[in-house]
Structure 1
Amino acid sequence: MDHHLLDDGWTLTADPATLPDDLPEPLLRTLHDGVPAHVPGTSHTTLLDAGLVPDPYVDDNETRLAWMRHVTWTYARPVRIAPALAGERVDLVLEGVDTVATVRLDDDVLARTANQHRTYRVDLRAHLHHDVRTLSVELGSALAHAEAEARRLGPRPLAYPQPFNMVRKMACSFGWDWGPDLQTAGLWRPVRIERWRVARLASVRPLVTVRPDGTGVVDVVVDVERSG
């Protein structure tokens, strides 16, 4: 199996329609033009590394940065991925997407995500040729998604005001007694291209039980994915 890590060359931009009007003009212009970004990373860490926002852990900066939770962010970078050879599989693997996103290769929609806690794997073979293309991940507001789900499903018990239980995103991102309410968005685990042949282990799940006589039993369930 050949792995190609996509960790550099990314740019983070913000949808102008989702930005507040009272942001300083230089910041608005920079967010429109794009900020160099590293993956893994988030909207907060990228802007913090670029010196565009204050440290959210200092003073009242948590509140001053509340606008970031309403923004639609897009990570994008150019890629050139050679078509698959005979019997070869070419996958895009996103180990962690935070959280509600649309993944595209140019205008081709590859995946839609709404779960920070899982990995996404996309078979790219139908989308590849030798030209340089743009891989992008558009991240919508997890708060907006959660609020829409709350309206659709009706009220549920909550310990905090925001409906963090309506989206598969780490609950502490919405604030906790020990942490700030930042509601990050980003590619929080690595992104890579995998090229492989024949087969791979897609999952391995051990099931452990104990018989009435005290004998331990382990059943291993293995999913094997073939390239052809």
Structure 2
Amino acid sequence: MRIAVAGASGNIGARVVAVLERDGHEVVRISRSHGIDLLKEDGIGDALSGVDAVVDTLNGPAVDPMEAITWFTTSTRNLLAAEERAGVRHHVLLSIACLYRVGGNAHYAAKRAQEQAVIEGPIPWTIVPATQFHDFAAMVADRTERDGAATLAPLLLQPIAPGDVAEVLAEIALGTPQGRYADLAGPEPQDMVDMARRTHQAQGRTVKLIPTWDGAFSTEMAGKVMLPDPGNVRIAPTTFDQWLAELE
């Protein structure tokens, strides 16, 4: 099949490209680094010619709610319009598990708006809500680190390996549209502060971690709020320990 990957240079998008090409499929890479700007109505040109499915792994700004919503909805609607012109039959969107349990987070508000654009759009779709990735905790700590100390919220997560996410997205892109897919999660819950500590240890780094709710993550995310729906979940195989071992 000929499949396009939006966000092809990103953490997940690059992995989806690798999985699809490994399995013999032709991949169209969509990203600014590949000369395609989805914020422009004509930014995609004829790139989707002959494409059967699109996997959308785009990521954007997440600080200001209106900026984030505008970025995600504009990019998505331009992509969907180009898909309609090209006759694409399946749009696969990577989204976030537990998205509708959290109100105030700018990124979550933008992803909800993006989902709605896909649902209301012209292309048959599958939305894949995944939990946070195994590298998420260290990424958050890196963003807040100052002078050897980082702040991050003591979230309870059920993280998933980025490689497992890519495998599932590629699998779904090869099939028929399924609507909203089950929550996609890793095998076991983890504490985010401990995840960051152990990731730093595997990387040979020493960072003082300060647990706090004073930041991007509020107490509305505390407890089991960020865990997947136990009655509608697909568990991926790679544990956090296995992922860590690959870093060492």
TM bucket normalised to smaller: under 0.3
Q: Which has the higher strand share?
A: 1
Rg larger for: 1
Between the two structures, name the one with larger relative contact order (CA 8 Å, sep ≥ 6): 1
TM-score (norm 1): 0.26
Q: Which has the higher helix share?
A: 2
